[in-house]
Amino acid sequence: MNRQLRLLPRAIASARSYSTGANATTKLFINGQFIDSQTSDWIDVRNPATQELVTRVPKTTSKELDEAAHNAHLAFGDWRRTSVMTRQRKMLDLQHAIRSHMDELAASIVQEQGKVLGDAKGDVMRGLQVVESMSGIADFMLGSKLEVSADMDTYTVREPLGVVAGICPFNFPAMIPLWMFPVALATGNTCLLKPSEKDPGAAMLLAQLCNDVGIPPGVLNIVHGAHDTVDFLTSDPRVRAVSVVGGDKAGKHIYERSAQHGKRCQANMGAKNHAIVLPDANKEHALNAIAGAAFGAAGQRCMALSVAVFVGDSGDWVSEIVARAKELKVNGGFEPDADLGPMISPEALARAKALIQSAADEGASVSLDGRGISVPKYPKGNFLGPTVIDHATPQMQCYQEEIFGPVLTCIRVDTLDEALALVNANRYGNGASIFTRSGASARKFQSQVDAGQVGINVPIPVPLPMFSFTGNKGSFLGDTNFYGRSGVNFYTQLKT
């Protein structure tokens, strides 16, 4: 039986609590219940591989948004008084439930977002790791105590903020919500979560699992929509803090609007992640790692490796990157041979194609052009094949802008110092990597590169959740990062 047919019935069975009938609509999740929105304004969610309508997402009404915030505010009073051991137990139960429903969650992601099944499971797994880390929340919540004189002690306790909001992007429908609401809930807050209007299914399944493990009504609420919903979450006085992952325009708007209304905000935004390749690198390892990091998940991830900087003679290896990229299979996400699936929308595809064309127009070599790819079984899909742009320069539009597709831009320089200067001059700072056998070169890169996350012979240096996601420069706004101890600090305040 086709893998898609084995997985989807289970996913649909789990989804019945938030979708209805043949013309499925996504429900709201307020005060522990899935409810139909009374809106007259809906957003279509289409399968990126087929353009088939999957569900319709409501633009939540102002009355419904107020109801969600009201219930989150009421629930906070009791939830904050639960013991840290109780909240820890809920995180243990939730991680078990997520692990048990991995296939359903992954199937939803493939259907709505387009990832291949392996990448969809990885999406869930990386979020699950955050939930697992919050199963040790007691240690994160420890305060400090000091005897400051013979008859006086001073000590601190860490307390929740209240109602917090999470605003999620389309590219990680499970992982990004799981960066947010488990940390918020484990620290004693209640949460208003807005999944992406392009692929809300995984978040809704997670809400069902929260119900299943007994997280009380009102502690997690899910609302949908676009600009009006975002503006409500960033301005309502009951919301104390806002987490957002998204593009530059959305992230800056949300950060500035949150600040104007006196809220904490952490905003992960765009990226242009570089890998420096030295001639002494292990060629096979470097090229395989770069190919996977550049083209996996159709390049739609904020830590995708989008620029390879070849130093000296390593520039001769570009043709071998092209050869590896040609071997990757582009197909629907449920197909067993698929290495990468479609892009999220026709608009995203058109934008990526335009940036590839701009590279050619500005004098770069498009060594591998994925724009003409044919996927016979899915003729309507938003497919872009792996693309390699060579002999690019930092002034070109393909370098300056985040393409967010399966496109690798290659730049050639003579020395490591030139490569470092190039990386450090870029306005983004999510991650950077180097491929080398030289300990001295690796140490120099590690100490001098200006990026928040650094890999040595590692193409995508995303930290596990015992650490925090520490993008910097133009990739992040705020002063406290996502998950790990930084995430706990974001969702709590000290009392002395």
Instruction: Quote the percentage of the chain above a pLDDT of 90.
Output: 95
Q: Work out the pLDDT band at 8, boundaries 50, 70, 90.
A: very low
pTM of structure: 0.95
The pLDDT tens digits for 280-317 are 999 999 999 999 999 999 999 999 999 999 999 999 99
The pLDDT tens digits for 167-207 are 999 999 999 999 999 999 999 999 999 999 999 999 999 99
Q: What is the pLDDT of residue 110?
A: 98
Q: Contact at 8 Å (CB) between 241 and 206?
A: no
Q: Work out the pLDDT band at 22, boundaries 50, 70, 90.
A: low
Q: Work out the pLDDT band at 12, boundaries 50, 70, 90.
A: very low
Alpha carbon 327 to its chain centroid, in Å, reads 27
Cα–Cα distance, 427 to 404 (Å, whole number): 16
- Could you tell me the two tokens for 265? 């905000």
Please tell me which residue in 191, 302, 398, 410 is annotated as part of the active site: 302
Helices 102-113/201-212 angle, 10° precision: 160
- Cα–Cα nearest to 384, from 93, 121, 48, 157: 48
Bridge partners of 453?
431
Give the least confident one: 15-29, 82-96, 431-445.
15-29
Q: Is residue 265 annotated as part of the catalytic site, yes or no?
A: no
How many residues are present in the chain?
Answer: 496
Task: Please list, residue by residue across 448-469, b when 16 or more beta carbons sit within 10 angstroms of its beta carbon and e when fewer do.
Answer: ebebbbbbebbbbbbbebeebb
Q: Work out the pLDDT band at 370, boundaries 50, 70, 90.
A: very high
Q: Is the pLDDT of residue 9 over 50?
A: no
Neighbours of 376 (CB within 10 A): 6
- Cα–Cα nearest to 484, from 16, 130, 46: 130
Q: What is the pLDDT of residue 5?
A: 38
Q: Contact at 8 Å (CB) between 368 and 387?
A: yes
Cα–Cα distance, 479 to 185 (Å, whole number): 21
Q: What is the pLDDT of residue 231?
A: 98
Q: What is the pLDDT of residue 13?
A: 42
Q: What is the pLDDT of residue 3?
A: 41
Strands of the sheet containing 387-390, edge to edge, are 365-368, 387-390, 407-413, 305-311, 273-277, 431-435, 453-456
